């Protein structure tokens, strides 16, 4: 006897959305750290307003069962200084037994229709497996988001490449000393004019930095004021972040910041933002010097955007590594936006902090 194909429908969860979110994600990505606190932070307490949750139900001969999920989280995006209401696509999952093209595509297309009807712009960070469905749903591929990594201690890397520990320690240590001296000289040039601080709170200086950055930036940039940073990093229930602040001496005025997570000897820069490229370069110089002294082995950042930022990273020892996600974007026909602005990845500034990475 042949069985009929499952009947699927997209709906908004009405009750127990937090428990549904946890169950579907745990079944789909096998991540036991997902909990209701993460749901509340993502969907109810988001800085730009409550997010919309969509679930996919399998409706066959049995009782309807929730087997898929996608979210649309409001964000504020600025394009050439104009504020846009944006929807960030996140948490696309389908449980393994229903992981075929049709269920995921239904979620992607439904989310696209809602985004076009209610927002100026929608964007997302799908992985390679989900990218094709989003493109079929009407999204433009903005570009690949790469990880850029700066190795501060080479011995572990050389061991992974097969060198015996004594040889890797000797060769790696020699390289580390030379490169550390170069980085230290670069940072020492600026220590009379700048300092790196680690504030426990994001204060009014971050709002002033954001306004100055917005005035100077002619591209596409997500909101980065104090309230957004506080929610995204300091109130995040799933990851612990610290914020590094580059301040100008002697005024103490903020020139840039980085949002930082640590995993053993690996340091990840979830976000980098500064008033201009010069300040960004000084900020990176300061961070590399600090992390080397703290015995970090590698510092990395995920980025898609202006070529000057990529060149700045490469000049400081970062190297392009793997593609971690892809950036997609679509504008509502009623938004009145210049399509070439959103389609040009070289005018954006996207880091892991901008989305669901």
pLDDT tens digit sequence for 185-194: 888 899 999 9
Q: Where are the domains of the chain?
A: 8-138, 147-323
End-to-end CA distance of the chain: 44
User: Tell me: domain 147-323, CATH 3.30.70.270, correct?
Assistant: no
**Do the domains at 8-138 and 147-323 have one common CATH topology?**
yes
SS (H, E, C) 224-253: CCHHHHHHHHHCCCCCCCEEEEEEECCCCC
State the CATH architecture for 8-138: 3-Layer(aba) Sandwich (3.40)
Q: For the whole model, what pTM was predicted? A: 0.91
pLDDT digits (tens, 9 = 90+) for 103-157: 999 999 999 999 999 999 999 999 999 999 999 999 999 999 999 999 998 556 6
d(C-alpha 177, C-alpha 187), whole Å: 15
pLDDT digits (tens, 9 = 90+) for 224-263: 999 999 999 999 999 999 999 999 999 999 999 999 999 9
Helix %, strand %, coil % for the chain, to 5?
A: 40, 30, 30
Element housing 333 (H / E): none
The residues facing 269 across adjacent strands are: 260, 301
pLDDT digits (tens, 9 = 90+) for 17-50: 999 999 999 999 888 889 999 999 999 999 999 9
């Amino acid at each position: 006897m042949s069985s009929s194909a499952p009947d699927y429908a997209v709906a908004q969860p009405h009750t127990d959305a937090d428990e549904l979110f946890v169950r579907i994600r745990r079944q789909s990505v096998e991540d036991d750290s997902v909990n209701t606190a993460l749901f509340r932070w993502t969907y109810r307490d988001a800085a730009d307003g409550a997010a919309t949750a969509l679930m996919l139900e399998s409706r066959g001969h049995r009782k309807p069962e929730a087997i898929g999920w996608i979210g649309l989280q409001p964000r504020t995006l600025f394009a050439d200084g104009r504020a846009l209401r944006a929807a960030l696509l996140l948490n696309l999952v389908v449980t393994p037994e229903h992981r075929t093209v049709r269920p995921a595509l239904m979620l992607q297309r439904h989310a696209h229709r809602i985004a076009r009807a209610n927002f100026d712009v929608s964007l997302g960070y799908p992985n390679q497996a989900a990218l094709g469905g989003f493109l079929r749903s009407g999204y433009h591929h903005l570009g690949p988001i790469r990880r850029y990594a700066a190795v501060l201690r080479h011995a572990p890397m050389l061991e992974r490449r097969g060198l015996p520990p004594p040889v890797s320690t000797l060769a790696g240590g020699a390289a580390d000393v030379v490169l550390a001296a170069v980085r230290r000289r670069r940072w020492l040039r600026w220590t009379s004019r700048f300092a790196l601080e680690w504030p426990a709170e994001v204060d009014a200086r971050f709002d002033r930095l954001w306004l100055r950055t917005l005035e100077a930036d002619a591209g596409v940039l997500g909101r980065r004021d104090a309230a957004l940073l506080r929610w995204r990093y300091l109130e995040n229930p799933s990851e612990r972040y610290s914020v590094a602040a580059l301040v100008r001496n002697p005024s103490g005025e903020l020139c840039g910041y980085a949002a930082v997570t640590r995993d053993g000897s690996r340091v990840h820069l979830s976000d980098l933002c500064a008033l201009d490229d010069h300040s960004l370069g000084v900020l990176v110089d300061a961070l590399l010097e600090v992390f080397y002294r703290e015995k970090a082995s590698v510092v990395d950042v995920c980025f898609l955007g202006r070529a000057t930022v990529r060149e700045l990273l490469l000049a400081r020892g970062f190297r392009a590594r793997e593609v971690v996600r892809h950036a997609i974007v679509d504008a509502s026909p009623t938004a009145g936006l210049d399509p070439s602005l959103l389609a040009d990845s070289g005018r954006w500034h996207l880091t892991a902090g901008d989305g669901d990475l």
